[in-house]
Structure 1
């Protein structure tokens, strides 16, 4: 029998009480509870969320990196990189979002939670690959989506849309070769039709 989900405000209060000083904030928006923790308390907070009787988030269902450098509320004034996780409690029928900012923009690092939830393994590898976030304690941190020789992290906001290199098959060498991108970067702005009666619309 499935447990009845509690109200978000009640869950917020339970989570805040369980985490205590480990949480920077516990908020409700659009019916969802979001916990923000400092990087120094991230592993302890996640352990509490997994094991505490009022939380019991047995499953990590998602984990991703975020580059906040172009977000209006953060921009260049705040920390740039964050790791956002979504946790699910099957036994208590509740879920929560957890966000932790990496304290150093030049070398973003947070501790791995793959020892708490095995599902974090590939999620953390993806965030490492696409954002360059290092997960301290991960036992196999390597690229998972891009090629072995790939340069950079393609989900960072400053990564060029065309990339840095292009690949092609070289028939003489009988192998794939990499070379600098030959396409000039440009921004295409679509033409806007301003005719009052375009397409019969009035």
Structure 2
């Protein structure tokens, strides 16, 4: 007897064919990896084909793999991961696409496929610096417009590059280089011999 996950994998393979670079079933979830050149057509087919019918984009996020696996990762640095839902079939699917260029990660936008992708793609751009080709309003959404860098990248310093404060003399917010020296805080734990015992 075939399981629901096996039926999903068969349907996705049937619809996408050779465009699936990798298919992985882990923890009762199916993840497929596709090439950036096929990403937009794959997403349209997953939505429109009656065998898959993924009518809803639940989530889309950026991922920085630069220090994945304690730095043993050898693939592309940036990926976009989308989570899809088919209400008709009661299926969930994860689609991963890796950006070809680590210096300027560029992925096609799926805003025309699912309107919900708009703010998700803006968030991935703001926090990871992933660009979405075809997005009509790609601007920062969580950080300040004057913010420099992308704070969820693994090489971004924890303390940032600049700090913001209100200057009472100038009566405005000013930016200045970070004044906090990097340091390691190790908590000191004190345990009593009979703690919690009566």
Q: Same fold (TM over 0.5)?
A: yes
SS state at 2:75 partner: coil
Change (3 A) 1:74 1:170: closer
What TM-score, normalized to structure 2?
0.92
Matching of residue 123 in structure 1 with residue 91 in structure 2: no
Q: State which of 196, 199, 202 in structure 1 corresponds to 2:195.
A: 199
Offset of 1:115 from its aligned partner? 0.4
Q: Any unmatched runs of 5+ in structure 2? A: none
Offset of 1:173 from its aligned partner? 1.2
Deviations 1:133-156 (A, max 9, x none): 000000000000000100000001
Offset of 1:199 from its aligned partner? 2.8
Deviations 1:50-86 (A, max 9, x none): 1111110001010000011111187452211100000
Change (3 A) 1:74 1:85: farther
Match of 2:180 in 1: 183
Q: CA RMSD in A?
A: 1.8
SS state at 2:68 partner: coil
Matching of residue 59 in structure 1 with residue 23 in structure 2: no
Aligned partners of 1:35 and 1:154: how far apart in 2?
Answer: 27
SS state at 2:185 partner: coil
Matching of residue 88 in structure 1 with residue 82 in structure 2: no
SS state at 1:72 partner: helix
Aligned partners of 1:75 and 1:109: how far apart in 2?
Answer: 23
Match of 1:159 in 2: 156
Judge which range, 41-50 or 181-190, deviates more: 181-190
Alignment of 1:40-59 (within 5 A): 40-59=37-56
Deviations 1:112-167 (A, max 9, x none): 00000000000000000000000000000000000010000000111111111111
SS state at 1:35 partner: strand
What TM-score, normalized to structure 1?
0.90
SS state at 1:123 partner: helix
SS state at 1:27 partner: strand
Judge which range, 66-75 or 130-139, deviates more: 66-75
Say if 1:15 and 1:26, in contact at 8 Å, map to a contact too: no
Aligned partners of 2:73 and 2:15: how far apart in 1?
Answer: 33
Change (3 A) 1:153 1:20: same
Aligned partners of 2:15 and 2:178: how far apart in 1?
Answer: 52
